[in-house]
Amino acid sequence: PRAILAGLVGAGLSVSGAIFQALLRNPLADPYILGVSSGAAVGAIIAILLGLSTLSLGLPVASFLGALLTVFAVFSFGRQNGKIHPTTLLLAGVIIGSFLSALIMFFISVSQREDLHTIIFWLMGDFSLSNVWMIRMVFPYIFFGFVLLYLYARHLNLILSGEEHALQLGVDVERLRLISYLSASLITAASVSVCGLIGFVGLIVPHSVRLLFGPDHRLLLPASALLGASFLIASDTLARTLLAPIELPVGVITAAFGGPFFIYLLRT
C-alpha cells in the first residue's frame, strides 16, 4: 500500500503543478500556491491535538476537510463579478495561506511534546501510516481529476497562446479556468491529506517534463503523472533505507533534489 499511495500522490502533485504553471503562466508555480497545503495542515494539526490521529482515517479526513474549506474560501474571495482573475485568486491564496500559517505556528507553540513530534513529521511529509483505506480515499479524486483535466488538454494548449486567441477559437476561458483550478486543487487536497506536505514534486516534475517533451498538455499531463509517481516512490524508498532503521520524512529527500533544481530555474 505504501508504494501505491506514494505513486498516486506523486502523480497527483505533478499533474496539479503542471496545471497551475499553465494557468498562471509561471514556471515556479506549484500545487500549494493557493494555500491548500496550509488548510490541510491546520486540519491535520487539530486532529492530532484532539487525539483523532490514532484513528485509521482521523488524520487524513480532518486534513482533507481543512483543505476543502480553504479551496472554498480562496475561490469565494478570488472571484470578481462572478469571474476568476488569476491575480486576484493568487492574492486570495497568499492571504489565506498566510493566516493559516500563523494558526499553524500558534498550534505548534501550545502543543504538548508528544504531539509536537507527530505534527512536525506530518508537516515534512510521511508515508509511514499508509493503508488500503487511504488509497481508496484519494484514488477517486486523483483519477477522475486527471481524466477531467486530460479531456481539456487541447483547450489548455490554446490558452497558452493567449486568452484572446483561445476565445476566438471558441474556448470558454472562464469555464476552463474554473474546472482546471478546482480539479487541480481537489487533487492537491486529496494528496496532501494522506501524507502531509511534500515540497518540490509539483515544481520539479512538470517543469522537467516540459523541457523534455514540450508544452503540449496531451503529452505533458500523462508524462508528469508517470514521472511524478516514479520520483516519489524512489524518494520514499530512499527515505526508508538511507539511514535505516531510522526513517527520514520523504519531504527531506524531495527538498534535497528540489532545492538545487529551484536555483537552476531561477538562473535560467
Q: Of the given ranges (13-17, 45-49, 114-118, 212-216), which has the lowest mean pLDDT?
A: 114-118
- Angle, helix 217-241 to helix 132-151, in steps of 10 degrees: 160
Predicted confidence band of residue 162 (pLDDT cuts 50, 70, 90) = confident
**Residue 224 has what pLDDT?**
96
pLDDT at 197 over 70: yes
pLDDT at 268 over 80: no
* Long-range contacts, stretch 92-99, CB < 8 angstroms, 24+ apart: 92/34, 93/33, 93/34, 93/35, 94/35, 96/35, 96/38, 96/39, 96/70, 97/32, 97/34, 97/35, 97/37, 97/38, 97/70
Q: Taking residues 80-103, what's their average pLDDT?
A: 87
pLDDT at 85 over 90: no
**Residue 5 has what pLDDT?**
96
Domains annotated on the chain, with CATH: 1-267 (1.10.3470.10)
Q: Taking residues 95-104, what's their average pLDDT?
A: 92
pLDDT at 236 over 90: yes
Residues contacting 9, CB < 8 A, separation 6+: 138, 142, 191, 194, 195, 198, 232
This prediction has a pTM of 0.90
Q: Of the given ranges (5-14, 69-78, 163-172, 244-253), which has the lowest mean pLDDT?
A: 163-172
